[in-house]
Amino acid sequence: MSNERQRFVDETTDQVRPLEKDYFLSEWEAAVSGTPEALARTQQAQAAYMRSWSDVGRYEAAKRYNEQAGADAELARQIRLIYLTAAQNQQDEATIDRLTALESEVRGRYTNFRGRVDGAELSDNAMDEILAKSADSDEVRQVWEASKQVGGEVADQVRDLARVRNEAARRQGFRDHFQRSLTLNEIDEAQLLSLFEKLEVESRKPFQSLLQAIGEERSRLFKIKTEALRPWHYADRFFQKAPPMGAFDFDSLFAEKDPVEVASATYDGLGMEVRPVLARSDLFPRPGKNQHAFATHIDRQGDIRTLNNLERNHRWNETLHHELGHAVYEQYLDPQLPWLLRAPAHILSTEAIALTMGSLTLDGEWLTTILGVPAARAQAAAQAGRERRRAGDLIFTRWCLVMTNFERQMYADPEADLDAIWWDLVERYQGLRRPEGRQAPDWAAKYHVALVPVYYQNYELGTLVSAQLVDRIVGHAGGFVGRKAAGDWLREKFFRPGGRQDWSTHIASATGEPLNPRYFVDRLR
Ligand SMILES: [Zn+2]
C-alpha cells in the first residue's frame, strides 16, 4: 500500500516537474521581453502544465489516497498536495484553452500598457512619481485617469475569465471560483470572513483619524477644501500605500543609495547570501518589460530570480527587500525534501517573509546601521519610519478589505454592475469619495483582479503572520536588523521545513502558537 502510494507520488513528480519548469521559464521570458512570441510560448507552456494536472485518473487516485489514513506524514502531505493541485485543475481541454488564451491576451495588454496623457506615454513608474510629488490637481487627475485606461482595455476579458473560472468550480460542486480557490488553498472561507470583519472593526477608528490627518495635509498641498479631495489626490493609483506625510522627506534618504547594495547589506546582516539571486535577476526598468515585481523559483533546485524595476526611492527599496524575502525562503528550503515539498508552506507564509523584509526599510535601527542615515537625521528618520509603517499597515489593511470583498462579489455574480460595486467598497473601506459621474471598469485596472485571482487575502494573512514572527524573533535574538541569530531562527524554524506541514500547523510549530491577529492589531493603535 505504502509502495503503491510512493509510486504514485514519484510518477506524478516525474510528469509535472519538467512542465512546471518550462512554464516558469517561459513566464520569465515573457515578463522580461513582452514579445508576442514569448507570450505565446507562455500560453502553450501554461496549457501543457494545466493539462497534465487536469488528468482525471490522477485526481481520482489522489482523492482516494488522501481519504485513507497513511502512516508516513511526509508521504501523506505529498498526496494531499497532489490532490489539492489536481482539484484546482479539474477542467476539460476546451476550458483550459479558453482560460490560457484569455489570460495570455490580458497579460500582454498589462505588460505593454503605458498610460497616455495628451498623446505622451507614461510608464507606471512615471505615473507613480507624478502622483506622489505633484501639487497640481489637474495633473494628478489626468495621470490617475490615464492609469485606469488599462481597465477599459481588459474589462470584458476579465469578466469572461470570471465566468470560465466559475463554470469549472461549479462543475465540481463549489458555489463559485472564490469558494473553490480558498478551499483548495486550505483556507476556511467562514473563518477568513470573520477574521476580516474583526480587522475591519479594529482598524476603523485609527484609520479614520489617519485619513483625516492625511486629508488635511493633502488639501493644504493642493490648496483645495477637504471635501474636494478625490482618489487622485492620495499619491497612489489605488491608495494602497501611505502618501508622503509630514515635513520629513523619506524618499530623500534613498536618493544617493544603490538599492542592490543596500539590500545585499540587509541580508548579509542576517547571514543570508542574496548575490547569486541578484546576478540571475532582471532589476531595472526598460521599455516592453513587465512593470511589476515578482520572484520565481524556476526549477526548485536553486534557480531563483527576481524581476524589479528599481528606482532610488523608498518604494523600490522596499520592493527589492520584499522580493528577496521570497527568494531566501526558497533558497534555504531543505534541499533533501522531496520535490513536491520543496516549496514554502503556503503562499501566505512566503508573503509573510516578504512583508517582514520589506518593512525593515522603515525600521529605525535599519535606517542607521544599514542605510547609513547620519546621526543628525537619525531620530527624525526613525520617527518618520514608525509613522509610515503604522499608516502603511492601516491603509493596506483597508485596501485588502476592498480587494477581497470585491473578488467575493465578482465571482458571486460576474454579470453585476461591477463598476458600482467597486466604488461602493472603496468608499466604505478606504473612505475615498468616488469621482462624480465616473462610469468605468476601474476594478479591471488592478492586475491581481485579472491575473492573480483570489490572492489578496494572502497578503493580509501574511501581514498577521509577519507580526507574530517579528515578536518571536525579537524575543529570541534581541532584535532583527544585523543579527545573524535572527536569520538563523528564520532559516531553521520557518524556511527549512518547506511544505512538510500545512500553513497553520507550520506557524504553530515555528512560533509555538497558532496564528494570532493580536500582534498585528496591537501595532495599529
Ligand atoms: Zn510578495
- Give the global pTM: 0.94
Q: Which residues surround ligand 1, an ion (CB under 5 A)?
A: 354
Backbone phi, psi, residue 223, to 5°: 55, 50
What is the Å distance from ligand 1's center to 323 Cα? 6
Task: Please give the full DSSP string across 84-113, using - where no structure is assigned.
Answer: HHHHHT---HHHHHHHHHHHHHHHHHHHH-
Alpha carbon of 212 to ligand 1 centroid (Å): 29
SS3 for 3? helix
Q: Is the pLDDT of residue 166 over 80?
A: yes
Per-residue pLDDT for 191 more than 90?
yes
Expressed in angstroms and rounded, the spacing between residue 132 Cα and the centre of ligand 1 is: 22
Q: 160 CA to middle of ligand 1, Å?
A: 26
Q: How far is the CA of 453 from the centre of ligand 1 (A)?
A: 14
Q: How far is the CA of 71 from the centre of ligand 1 (A)?
A: 35
Distance from Cα 432 to the centre of ligand 1, integer Å: 26
Residue 418's pLDDT is 98
Q: How far is the C-alpha of 79 from the C-alpha of 444, rounded, in Å?
A: 36
State the average pLDDT over residues 200-205: 97
CA distances from 110 to 151, 249, 363 (A): 9, 31, 33
Categorize the per-residue pLDDT at 202 as very low, low, confident or very high, splitting at 50, 70 and 90: very high
What residue type is assigned to position 477 of the chain? A
Residue 326 C-alpha to ligand 1 middle, in angstroms? 7
Task: Give residue 114's pLDDT.
Answer: 86
How far apart are the C-alpha atoms of 124 and 118, rounded to whole Å? Answer: 16
* Per-residue pLDDT at 68 exceeds 90: no
The rounded Å distance from CA 509 to ligand 1 centre is 23
| Mean pLDDT (the chain, rounded) | 95
Mean pLDDT of 285-307: 94
Of 248-252, 289-293, 303-307, 423-427, which range is least confident?
Answer: 289-293
DSSP state of 282: B
- b/e per residue 247-272 (b: at least 16 CB within 10 A): ebebbebbeeeebbebbbbbbbbbeb
Residue type, 335: P
Element (H, E) at 116: strand 115-117
Q: How far is the CA of 152 from the centre of ligand 1 (A)?
A: 26
What cell numbers appear for 453 in the block? 485571482
- C-alpha 53 to ligand 1 mean position (Å): 25
Task: Please report the pLDDT score of residue 125 as a whole number.
Answer: 85
Distances (CA, A) of 374 to 87, 279, 361, 377, 474: 55, 30, 16, 6, 25
pLDDT above 70 (res 1): no
